[in-house]
Structure 1
Amino acid sequence: MTTVRYIDCTALMQELLAAHPEAAAQIDVFVGDPDRAQLAAMLADAEVAINGHTTMDAELLAGAPRLRSIVFLGSGPSSYIDMAAAERNGVAVHRIVNYGDRAIAEHAFALVMAAARDVAAMDRQVRAGVWSAAEGVELGGKTLGVIGLGGVGREMVRIAAGFGMNVVAWSRGGVDPALPCAAVGLDELLATSDVVSLHLALTPETRGFLSAGRLTRMKPGSVLVNTARGGLVDEAALVEALRSGHLRHAGLDVFDTEPLPNGHPLTALPNVTLTSHAAYKTREATQRLLAAALAIVAAERLRLGSV
């Protein structure tokens, strides 16, 4: 029988696995985050590994001679796994996409609303005994610019349109005319949008996509929301745009370095709402993620010769 090891199971995933007893019985589950020695021991004879968020470098993969498949619980395995080393060692890496499209888009729109009404800042003030009613802006009729129209971007378009916003979009692959938005050029989107929401994949070509120059071209007083990847944005330039007031606010769930280091300049700015890379994290999305992972594991066991 194929040896399948789930190397970093969360408490929620452990709970949800209980609803799949037949599949769970065929998986060795480690709950929590293993140290390197524990991880090496688990991978020494594993043929399939389920990886939620654990770094797997070339040295670790070289010490797993039987490993033939990694099921990564997310869409961006290259952030955690040395993909070149996996290929050299004959290890197939599977990723799971679209399971969290709605969850991430809802979180992105929550950041839009928090930015429009200074929710986080007022929360901090009230807790500190300061009663100061911030002046917000209404979103109805305002323009939301969506950059990238994968599954999350498409959901964001639908949510914002349903909320009464004027939605414009730009995508390298074009804009589906069935979506409730207008296709515009990137420069026009930046210059005219009251809110810009990023929904691009991070690749060598898109790293630093929202450069200092593009941030400068954004509409004065606008809002930036990023629930995609931190590396899409020039963080130093973003900090400057927020300090100067060129941008009214930023709602950020992702950062170039995670966890966000203590004392990072973004943490000192009052006009930023920060969340901890949690946009994808709902029970509903996790249930879809687990179902997709178990389907891949079943297919891999069949491929590798398990009865």
Structure 2
Amino acid sequence: MGKITVLGDFEKVFPSSPKVRELEQKGYTFDYAEPRSDSDTVEALKNADIAILVRERAKMPRHVIEQLPNLQMISQTGSGTAHLDKGALEENNIKLTLTGGTSAPSVVELTFGMIIGCMRQFTVHRNHLMQEQWKQIPGFELQHKRIGLIGYGEISREIAKVAQAFQMEPVTWRPTGEKGDEEIPVLELDELLATSDIVSIHVRLVPELKNVLNREKLFKMKKGSVLINTARGALIDNQALIELLESGHLLGAGIDTYPEEPLTENPFKNCPNVILTPHIGYITWEVLQRFADISLENIIGNLPTLSKQ
């Protein structure tokens, strides 16, 4: 009946989902590909009726979409769509579904791992020990510290709950979304930056928020504070952040996302007080399995509406 191609399933999670068997019983066949370029994506999808995209591992700009006349549907894992030309999808009558924010628990846990690692200077201590130097540098407790959350979606709400369990004071700046239902104080961005011991970013990369923490804003951060970015790399000015880390104005930073991925040249190589991870906020086996199951359920639920059989 049709062909489904999964792009970017590096961890090989999809084949084990029972939803694959359900779709195979309906007559669909599955292919898997790991494209590294736009031309790879076109080649992988040229005969596909449905594409499943694992996060932003494969981009779908207009010139790619227009070379895929058979494509009827994209089942996207996660809720980010910055890598998709949604206008081109609509013009070509390609349906788009999302799995939503199924990765919140994993991102919350990584965020707090980075916070604790920065406040207790894990990387600095590791570097000393690797050089056979025994140096005990005092760190800071989390209790009674203010954590400023940029954005107030599902992830920020969960972080606020965990922060309160640590006896921290969560506050937020909320640039988008419905306002008025906040359970924590809402501040202007400048006040949040100037008064927070930890600033953690949790907003989507939309045009109006690109470089939201530019040089001017970053230099307003409280001396001795920590910045955590598990959202998107293009939200901050990395060069300004590096200057603040190297000068000691910031105690540390935890960075999981970068303006260009994969990261090929490390701009933080001279910053011993930074924790770097390769965009793993959502990468746990539990999240990947939820992505697989829900994206396949989205396909099953939309089969009656697909017209190009």
Scaled by the length of structure 2, what TM-score is found? 0.89
Quick one: which of 178, 200, 203 aligns to 2:206?
203
Residue-by-residue CA offset, 1:25-64 (whole Å, 9 max, x unaligned): 5341315447766643442232211111212333332221
Quick one: which of 67, 89, 94 aligns to 2:92?
89
Cα-Cα RMSD: 2.3
The residue identity in structure 1 corresponding to 2:67 is: G
Q: How does 1:1-307 map to 2 (within 5 A)?
A: 1-14=1-14, 16-17=16-17, 21-23=21-23, 26-30=28-32, 32-33=34-35, 39-52=41-54, 53-79=57-83, 81-172=84-175, 173-174=178-179, 176-177=181-182, 179=183, 181-262=184-265, 264-304=266-306
The residue identity in structure 2 corresponding to 1:209 is: V
Instruction: Could you tell me which runs of 5 or more consecutive residues in structure 2 were left unpaired when the two chains were aligned.
Output: none
CA distance in 1, matches of 2:19, 2:136: 47
Q: CA 1:91/1:75 → structure 2, altered by over 3 Å: closer, same or farther?
A: same
The residue identity in structure 2 corresponding to 1:185 is: E
Instruction: Could you tell me which runs of 5 or more consecutive residues in structure 1 were left unpaired when the two chains were aligned.
Output: none
Residue-by-residue CA offset, 1:110-166 (whole Å, 9 max, x unaligned): 110110011123223323433322221111111111110111111111111112211
The residue identity in structure 1 corresponding to 2:66 is: A
* 8 Å Cα contact 2:230/2:281 also seen in 1: yes
Number of corresponding residues = 303
CA distance in 2, matches of 1:68, 1:14: 20
CA distance in 2, matches of 1:184, 1:276: 31
Scaled by the length of structure 1, what TM-score is found? 0.90
CA distance in 2, matches of 1:88, 1:305: 15
The residue identity in structure 2 corresponding to 1:174 is: K
Deviates more, 1:284-293 or 1:208-217: 284-293
* 8 Å Cα contact 1:7/1:34 also seen in 2: no
Q: Report sequence identity in percent.
A: 31
CA distance in 2, matches of 1:170, 1:306: 45
The residue identity in structure 2 corresponding to 1:54 is: A
Shift of the alpha carbon at 1:277?
Answer: 0.4
